Amino acid sequence: MSAISIQSVSKVYQASGKPGSSPLKALDNVSFDIEEGEFFGLLGPNGAGKTTLISILAGLAGATSGSIKVHGFDVRQDFVQARRHLGIVPQELVFDPFFTVREALVFQSGYFGLHRNGAWIDELLHGLGLTDKAGANMRQLSGGMKRRVLVAQALVHKPPVIVLDEPTAGVDVELRQTLWQFVAELNRRGHTVLLTTHYLEEAEALCSRLAMLKRGRVIALEKTSTLLSNATSNVLHFKTDSPLPDHLARLARVTGRIVEMPADGPVAIERHLAALREAGVAAEDVEIRKADLEDVFIELMSGAPEAGVTEAGLAEVATV
C-alpha cells in the first residue's frame, strides 16, 4: 500500500463572474503514488499547482475530480483517519500568540487525543533546537523559531507521513541545517516525507524521487538520479563584467556576474569560448560542471510539452 496515492486529481476554480473571465484549471489529471519511507519532492514554478495539491491532500480544499488516499484512507471520505496519518508544515507562519512553545505543543497533542507524551515533546524540542525556548511565548520568537515550532506541531502526533510545504522559505542557514538533519533522521526511521521547495539544491540532496508540475500537469516523474543522468549537456560556468552578445545571451542563464551556458561537449565549449573572445568578453573563473537539478528543471520547464509525462516517457522529455 502506498503512503500517498494521488489518482486523476483535477481542480477547477470557477469564473469570478467578471466579463471575459473563464474557469481556471489549477490541476489537470494529476496522478502518482508515493511509497512508504520515500523522501519525495514536488517541484514546479509559482502557479504550477503545488499548493493546491497540498491543500487537497490536507482536506482544506476539495478536488473537482479524482481522489487522494493516505495509507489507504480517502482524504474526503475518511478525513479523520487520513489526517491522523499526516503531519503538515504549511508555508504561512500561523501561531497562537497566547501560548508558550511547550503549551502550543501540548494543545496540539490534545487535538489528536494524545496525553502524557511529554517525552516525545522533549525530543522534538531538542531535535529542532527549541529546548531553551520551551517557556517562551510564541509572539516573542523570531520568524525562524516560529517555523521550527510549526514543524514540531506537525510532528507531535508522530505521523507516518510528513508534508513540508516550503519549510525553509526565508529562514537562515542554521535552521535549514537543523531541520534537514532532524527530518532526514525521521525518514531513516521509516517516515515518508513529501517536500515542496524552490531551493532545488535541497531537493537534489534530499529527495530520492521527484515529480515536476507545470500548469497543473505532471511533466516529469522519476528518480532524482535518473533525471540528472538524462540531462542533455554539461554547463560552462564563468564570471564576467561585460555584456554578452545577443546570440550568446539567448543561451545563457545570468545571475549578476555569473554566467552559465549549456555545452554538449568539447566542441561546444570551445565554440562558446571563441565567441566570447571574438566579442571581447573577458571571462574569469571558467569551469565546466555537470548539470544539476536546477539546470534540468529549467530545461524541462522551458521545453516540456503540455501533455502529462509518466516515468516511461521521461527520457523523451529530457531530450527536448
- Residue 125 and residue 12 share a domain: yes
Highest-confidence range of 91-95, 187-191, 307-311, by mean pLDDT?
187-191
Structural domains of the chain, count: 2
Q: What is the pLDDT of residues 112-129, one digit of tens each?
A: 888 888 999 999 999 888
Query: What are the angstrom distances between the C-alpha of 133 and each of 106, 117, 155?
Result: 15, 18, 18
Q: What is the pLDDT of residues 155-168, one digit of tens each?
A: 999 999 999 998 87
- Residue 214 and residue 253 share a domain: no
Q: Are 160 and 189 in contact (CB under 8 A)?
A: no
- Residue 153 and residue 34 share a domain: yes
Rounded-to-5 percentages of helix, strand, coil across the chain: 40, 25, 35
Mean pLDDT of 17-39: 87
Could you tell me the CATH number of the domain that includes residue 192?
3.40.50.300
| Domain annotation covers residue 126 | yes
| Domain annotation covers residue 33 | yes
Single out the residue in 206, 227, 248 at which a domain terminates. Answer: 227
Mean pLDDT of 242-250: 85
Mean pLDDT of 196-216: 92
pLDDT of 21: 67
Could you tell me the CATH number of the domain that includes residue 272?
3.30.70
For the chain, what is the radius of gyration of the CA atoms?
A: 22
- Residue 241 and residue 221 share a domain: no
Q: How far apart are CA 301 and CA 318, in angstroms?
A: 10
- Residue 243 and residue 98 share a domain: no
First to last CA, the chain: 34
Mean pLDDT of 96-122: 89
pLDDT of 16: 65
| Domain annotation covers residue 320 | no
- Residue 264 and residue 210 share a domain: no
- Residue 191 and residue 280 share a domain: no
pLDDT beyond 60 at 192: yes
pLDDT of 19: 66
Dihedral of alpha carbons 283, 285, 290, 296, sign = negative
pLDDT of 308: 41
- Tell me which DSSP letter residue 68 carries: E
pLDDT of 232: 62
Q: How far apart are CA 69 and CA 72, in angstroms?
A: 5
Mean pLDDT of the chain: 86
pLDDT beyond 70 at 235: yes
Mean pLDDT of 185-193: 94
Helix (H, G, I), strand (E, B) or coil at 257: coil
Domain region containing 262: 233-290
- Residue 114 and residue 240 share a domain: no
Q: Give the contacts of 101 (CB within 8 A, at least 6 positions apart).
A: 125, 130, 133, 134, 135, 136, 138, 141, 149, 152
Mean pLDDT of 219-242: 87
pLDDT beyond 60 at 147: yes
pLDDT beyond 60 at 137: yes
- Residue 247 and residue 205 share a domain: no
CB atoms within 10 A of CB 299: 20
| Domain annotation covers residue 94 | yes
- Residue 207 and residue 172 share a domain: yes
| Domain annotation covers residue 315 | no
Q: What is the pLDDT of residues 60-71, one digit of tens each?
A: 899 999 999 999
| Domain annotation covers residue 313 | no
pLDDT of 4: 97
Whose CA is closest to 83, among 62, 57, 101? 57
- Residue 210 and residue 257 share a domain: no
Q: Which grid cell is 130?
A: 527549541
Of the pLDDT bands very low, low, confident and very high (cuts 50, 70, 90), residue 304 is very low
pLDDT of 295: 83
Q: How far apart are CA 37 and CA 208, in angstroms?
A: 10
Mean pLDDT of 231-240: 83
| Domain annotation covers residue 311 | no
| Domain annotation covers residue 319 | no
Q: Are 186 and 37 in contact (CB under 8 A)?
A: no
Q: How far apart are CA 102 and CA 42, in angstroms?
A: 31
- Residue 215 and residue 168 share a domain: yes
Produce one character per residue of 141-174: b if its CB has 16 or more CB atoms within 10 Å, e if not. beebbbbbbbbbbbbbbebbbbbbbbbbeebeee
State if pTM tops 0.85: no
